[in-house]
Amino acid sequence: MLRHIWLLFRRKVIETLRQPVWVVIGLSTPLLYLALFAPVLDAFTGGPGFGEGDVLDVFVPGILALLAFGGGVGAGWLVIEELKAGVIERLRVTPVSRLALVLGAALRDVLVMVIPALIVVLVAIPFGFHAHWDGIALLMVLLSLVTVTTSALSSALGIILRETGSLAAIWNGVNLPILLLSGVLLPLSIAPGWLRLLAHFNPLYYVVEASRDLAAGTLTSGEVAQGFLVMTALTAVVLWWATNTFRKAVA
């Protein structure tokens, strides 16, 4: 299975290298947030939810979580293209591991997420972001779980729906509530109580809270433990479901 994962991962990386424009577009979004939205937050310095440090210490970890969430969403569209091109049909006659089909694409998405995420951190440092590299390293692991989960979920939905319009409708419907209820742009500690209550039903909320602790160099807080616990369980469930979906489709 490890060999299958490596072969499929390498295939996906080669596909990405042939179309690097998507990597550039993926990097431009968080950089635009830093350039156009972060300056608006300067007035919040020292206010509720931001503390006495630089606002980027709160803002950048949220942007990294946003990058990780979006990093795997596009996997479903690629699956639909492969279905239409007959690639999935050809895989039906091979002994390739169905889990490898999911993880090969997911690990490519992780790679495409981690490199821009580190670039965002490096770009943010001269503007006031305080990077604690032990926490950043652990944060990349947590964000990788997010990307694997969204990639596997999107791939499985692509197999089930088989239409780009249907897949787009689902992601467009869930994308905004998930992001707004996670506090990626503004900490939810300044939100009203009913909004904070709803946020606890959103897995990405725990990731964002853990991300801010990890970026600050706090490795053993309750928020970090909750973030890893929630994402590890969710990743395992989604991988199991996506693998079964591929097993039925590529029997």
Structure confidence by residue, pLDDT tens digits, 81-104: 888 888 888 877 788 888 999 999
Per-residue pLDDT, averaged over 116-137, amounts to: 91
pLDDT of 60: 92
Residue ranges of alpha helices (H) inside the chain are: 2-18, 21-36, 56-71, 75-85, 87-91, 98-124, 133-161, 164-180, 193-199, 203-215, 222-249
Structure confidence by residue, pLDDT tens digits, 201-238: 999 999 999 999 999 999 999 999 999 999 999 999 99
Q: Which of 45-54, 115-124, 214-223, 229-238 has the highest mean pLDDT?
A: 229-238
What is the CB-side half-sphere exposure of residue 140 using CA atoms within 13 A? 20
Secondary structure of residue 52 in the 3-state scheme: coil
d(CA 12, CA 169): 25
pLDDT of 118: 93
Nearest to 139 by CA among 208, 77, 201, 73: 208
Per-residue pLDDT, averaged over 71-79, amounts to: 88
d(CA 33, CA 59): 9
d(CA 67, CA 110): 10
pTM of the entire structure? 0.91
Residue boundaries of the structural domains of the chain: 2-37+53-249
Per-residue pLDDT, averaged over 241-246, amounts to: 92
Nearest to 186 by CA among 41, 11, 30, 73: 41
For residue 214, the Cα-to-chain-centroid distance in whole angstroms is 16
Per-residue pLDDT, averaged over 117-140, amounts to: 92
